[in-house]
Amino acid sequence: QVQLQESGPGLVKPSQTLSLTCTVSGGSISRGAFYWTWIRQLPGKGLEWIGYIYNSGNSYYNPSLKSRITMSLDTSKNQFSLRLNSVTAADTAVYYCARDYGSGLGSFDYWGQGTLVTVSS
Amino acid sequence: DIQMAQSPSSLSASAGDRVTITCRASQNIGTFLNWYQQKPGKAPKLLIYTTSSLQSGVPSRFSGSGSGTDFTLTISGLQLEDFATYFCQQSYRPPYIFGQGTKLDIK
């Protein structure tokens, strides 16, 4: 059974960098055709797809956030990470990591429990 | 971006009812439409992918249909555990956009 778990600071100051890591268990992130994905949910609102990284290291980011995002893989630790620069209060959200099943389906079959990140001084 | 309009935004029903939630895409997405269920404080759970394929472990009272721009999620014979928020999501082309959600509560 695949499990994902987000970790990182729950509080980030405005203009600083939000950094989160997702640890995957029950399967190797370097195997298969999966896209390792970040999604966020703004308070009381809907879901926003942030982007994904593939096991080759290729990535695709939401154009609305692209200038501020970096995603990376650490296959030795079976982890993938998100960095979001120059954060503002508008980036306060629950951040989820998820597995995109791939094969062109674009559906998210496994999710982490989510981690709340608050941007505040 | 392909936008998704979901309706209604909220819905009240009783256990045993049959309910339908709709999702409309701003352009043709074929059958690249997925449905999720989310309960408070929890991550979304994949229910249906590519319009009508039931994710493993999801009860058969959930069904999906549609193609092109118009899609529906139907729950036949509501159970108490089905009261939650439902989201559609297009997977035709990134950025993958979710609908705004339908909150289903008990009448």
- The string of pLDDT tens digits covering residues B29-60 is 999 999 999 999 999 999 999 999 999 999 99
Q: What number is the average pLDDT over the span A81-101?
A: 97
Q: What number is the average pLDDT over the span A19-32?
A: 94
Task: With beta carbons under 8 A apart, name residues in chain A contacting B35.
Answer: none
> In A, residues 55-94, which contact B (CB 8 Å cutoff)?
60, 62-64
User: CA-to-CA distance for A50 and A65, rounded, in angstroms?
Assistant: 7
Q: Cβ–Cβ of B91/A111 closer than 8 Å?
A: no
- Residue A75 DSSP code: T
Q: Where are the alpha helices (DSSP H) in A2-121?
A: none
Q: Cβ–Cβ of B32/A109 closer than 8 Å?
A: no
- Residues above pLDDT 90, as percent of chain A: 86
- Confirm or reject contact between B31 and chain A (CB < 8 A): no
Q: Cβ–Cβ of B98/A107 closer than 8 Å?
A: no
Q: What is the pLDDT along chain B (107 residues), one digit of tens a residue?
A: 999 999 999 999 999 999 999 999 999 999 999 999 999 999 999 999 999 999 999 999 999 999 999 999 999 999 999 999 999 999 999 999 999 999 999 88
Residue A31 — very low, low, confident or very high, per pLDDT cuts 50/70/90? confident
Q: What number is the average pLDDT over the span A100-104?
A: 81
The answer to whether residues A81 and A38 touch, using CB atoms and an 8 Å cutoff, is no
Listed in order, strand segments (DSSP E) in B1-107 are 4-7, 10-13, 18-25, 33-38, 45-49, 53-54, 62-67, 70-76, 85-90, 102-106
| For B40, nearest residue in chain A (alpha carbons) | A44
Phi, psi of A90 (to 5 degrees): -65, -10
- Residue A5: both structure tokens together: 């778990």
Task: With beta carbons under 8 A apart, name residues in chain A contacting B43.
Answer: 96, 98, 111-114
Residue A118: what pLDDT? 98
Q: What number is the average pLDDT over the span A35-40?
A: 97
Residue A33: what pLDDT? 87
Chain B closest CA to A104's CA: distance in Å?
Answer: 8
Chain A closest CA to B45's CA: distance in Å?
Answer: 7
> In B, residues 88-107, which contact A (CB 8 Å cutoff)?
89-92, 94-101
Residue B76: what pLDDT? 96
Residue A102: what pLDDT? 79
| Residue A119 amino acid letter | V
Residue A103: what pLDDT? 74
Residue A44: what pLDDT? 80
